[in-house]
Chains A and B, each alone.
Chain A
Amino acid sequence: MADTTTRVKLQWGVLNTVVVVFALIPVLWIMSLSFKTPATLTDGKFIPREWTLENYRNIFDTDQFVRALVNSIGIALIATVIAVVLGTMAAYAIARLDFPGKRLLVGVALLIAMFPQVSLVSPLFEIERQLGLFDTWPGLILPYITFALPLAIYTLSAFFKQVPWDLEKAAKMDGATQGQAFRRVIAPLAAPGVFTTAILVFIFCWNDFLFAISLTSTERSRTVPVALSFFTGESQFEDPTGAICAAAVVITVPIILFVLFFQRRIVSGLTSGAVKG
């Protein structure tokens, strides 16, 4: 008995290590490159022989990168907030209410999520140019919300279904209106779901390249993934690899901060103790 559990643990341990190493090595490699000097860039060593912060200094010196960072943060945050708020309301309705067309709504949401985004790029480009949304923040926020919503609705309705129905009834008996029951009882319990969804949506917006490159043309609204692709060296002959790596490291930081910040709130078992003995 004990034998098998140790073996199972060992097997999982090995498997986990392999997966983590597989995922982390490229990231560590990029980090290592970002600290190397141009001369040692291609020496193939994992640990840089000469450490330098030159690459970081360079990217923050250029207006191009800083501006893109601001765009990225602004656009991703606004899109996340709107998508999560709308998604919360829709998911609550789907989880709690029986209304005509509910299945259709869920189906359409799923369809949007599966629709190939590439095929929408040119129409969106035309539409946004006509409406004057091209190369503006709303021009990116709108499609992000559209594609993030199905994801948000899906994850959130799964969470709402876990909140015991009795709690809402109890709140109503205690004298709460529908709105009060939602705000004071249901929403706090669905919070882990809201934060999980927020993380997923934020990552989706933060990482997007396709819409960002097609629907922007200047620094006004260009986001970091796109700005990165426009990186060139100071002069034509300079290799931009170091700078690109430094920028790549910099843009992972907000994601890590975002996840760490919300992870503390994703306390599993938050609903325990609500029902049963």
Chain B
Amino acid sequence: MADIVLDKVSKKFPDGTIAVRDVDLEIADGEFVILVGPSGCGKSTTLNMIAGLEDISSGELRIGGERVNDKAPRDRDIAMVFQSYALYPNMTVRENMAFPLQLAKLDKKTINQKVEEAAKVLELTPLLDRRPANLSGGQRQRVAMGRAIVRKPKAFLMDEPLSNLDAKLRVQMRTVVSRLQKRLGTTTVYVTHDQTEAMTLGDRVVIMRGGAVQQVGPPQELYDNPHNLFVAGFIGSPSMNFLPAAIEESRLRTALGDVPIGDRIRRELSRADAPRELILGIRPEHFEDAELIDEETRRRGIVFEAPVDIVESMGSDKYVYLTVEGERATAAELEELAADAGAADFTGVGSHLVTRLSAESTVTEGQNRRVWFNLEKIHLFNPADGRNLTLREGRAAGALAD
């Protein structure tokens, strides 16, 4: 077991593609870190550099305090689980799992004992003598995990290990992975493009875009205090709603009505390079049916009226899609999120507002409804660079902050 440190690590491919640029990351011993981002953002390349399967173009990689840039994968003592599982089809499950131990020149008895042990943990014992071709997807996935844990490496690397499973199995395996990591306490770097996996699995999440790290932090931290538009739009399902907000004196004109702004935001906006328009972001759960809130709560936000398009009752609460007039928010980040297949359900910039109201709300489709939203929870972004203007010392402070 060991910590992993990436110090200004970059990757430039021979064809000139810069897949990873200046990534700084410190992964503590035993930590479970998730690399997440849309496809093509350099997650696999980063992982492969940690593994030693790709050379590091510049920067330094340290595992357990030791520089390993020039070490072969076999000398780094790291195990990897591949998206494709990469099981050896000519070997049985037992032989697959024994392979790393044989290469480590352990004696037969120890190998057998370790394989049986790992098989028990992953409930593979009855399958030990089958070949990969005769296993289901979920079973293959478990064999791949088994092959990784069997030799107790310094760290696990996993590249989208669950993305080939169907939705139900994926949820199931998610808990298996999580439990396994906690039980073994091995440093783990896990790559995914699925934000739900990122939110539920790791101790910390690293969000990447175009080869660069956008933000690092515990999942809740990223959810509550996104540093920029990209992080805000990527984390959360359904995603945050984005609206254009024109700056006018001491308020912002939006499709939901005029939003007052506090001194801090005003100071930001008085700077010479300040944008003329902002992007307003609100998460679905920060809306509420105006009928259901008391006077004091009402004062912390504003109320608007909009036609109700669709009501999806989830039992615990209601997803209500409201039609909003006016232009859509535009920014490079939002287009990228909408284009990425991994965020196919990206609803942030549609002509609809996605809101999550209490189950008690009597809202029905087709009516005009008065809906409230919380001004303390909104985010304002600069469309030019995507920066979150409502952050104060790394925490989101809403529009009204002084």
Contacts and interface: CB of A to CB of B under 8 A. Distances in A.
B74 A172 contact: yes
Interface stretch (B77-85, B203-211, B262-270, B336-344): B77-85
Given A164-B84, A173-B74, A274-B85, 9 more contacts: A170-B87, A171-B88, A172-B74, A180-B103, A185-B88, A273-B133, A273-B140, A274-B86, A276-B85
Among B74, B79, B133: residue with most chain A CB under 10 A:
B74
A275 B86 contact: yes
Nearest to A177: B74
Contacts of B52: 172
A73 interface: no
A174 interface: yes
B86 A170 contact: yes
A274 B144 CA distance: 10
Contact of B90 (A166, A169, A189, A275): A189
Interface of A: 98, 164, 166-167, 169-177, 180, 184-185, 188-189, 269-277
Contacts, number: 93
Given A173-B51, A174-B103, A175-B103, A273 B89 contact: yes
Contacts of A271: 89
B74 A175 contact: yes
Among A164, A269, A273: residue with most chain B CB under 10 A:
A273
A173 B88 CA distance: 13
B301 interface: no
Nearest to B104: A175
B80 A274 contact: no
Interface of B: 14, 51-53, 72-74, 78-80, 82, 84-90, 99-100, 103-104, 131-138, 140-141, 147, 151, 164-165
A276 B88 contact: no
Main secondary structure of the interface of A (DSSP, over half): loop
Contact of B87 (A176, A184, A274): A274
B70 to A, nearest CB: 15
Sort A-B residue pairs by CB-CB distance and give the 3 closest, nearest first: A277-B137, A273-B133, A273-B132
B89 A277 contact: no
A174 B99 contact: yes
Contacts of B132: 273-274
A190 to B, nearest CB: 11
Among B14, B51, B90, B164: residue with most chain A CB under 10 A:
B90
Contacts of A176: 74, 103
Contacts of A185: 88, 90
Contacts of B165: 277
A210 B89 CA distance: 43
A172 B82 CA distance: 12
Contact of B88 (A98, A269, A274): A274
17 contacts: A169-B53, A169-B82, A172-B73, A177-B72, A184-B99, A185-B90, A189-B89, A271-B89, A273-B131, A274-B85, A274-B88, A275-B85, A275-B86, A276-B84, A277-B85, A277-B141, A277-B164
Contacts of A188: 90
A276 B163 CA distance: 10
Contacts of B140: 273, 277
B84 A275 contact: yes
Contacts of B104: 175
